[in-house]
Structure 1
């Protein structure tokens, strides 16, 4: 699946993932010789980046505040409820 620059900028703004990462992933999807049809390579790679981004939030000195600052308010609430 091809993404244009506007779509990638919007995704970067929503997710907090740097645009450059998303652009590199899109380029990798577009030129993957082993997967010329795409087959959701970008989504798979974005999942890895998302997991890494979330792990950084959870391992910060204040994971609840970090989750809230990234817009994960429900996850922060669940973490508070779990710790209570």
Structure 2
């Protein structure tokens, strides 16, 4: 089952991706808020993992311990490409 953040959280995430991450700006406050959203979803929705579906998101979480597994779509695509080439 796929669970998405609340509408206000989606708006916050989209804003931070556009205004900060796409410009190479990494702020600890943004990381903390994203992590709080993930923690809320873990507690309230029982999520087991998050999908880092924006290429900039792994930069935000580099070296950060999250409450759930993070699935980096860039890594997943690269791994699939290598497997397809073999």
TM over 0.5: no
Q: Which has the higher strand share?
A: 2
Q: Which has the higher helix share?
A: 1
Structure index of larger Rg: 1
Scaled by the length of structure 2, the TM-score of the pair is 0.30
Flag the structure with more relative contact order, 1 or 2, with Cα contacts below 8 A and sequence separation at least 6.
2
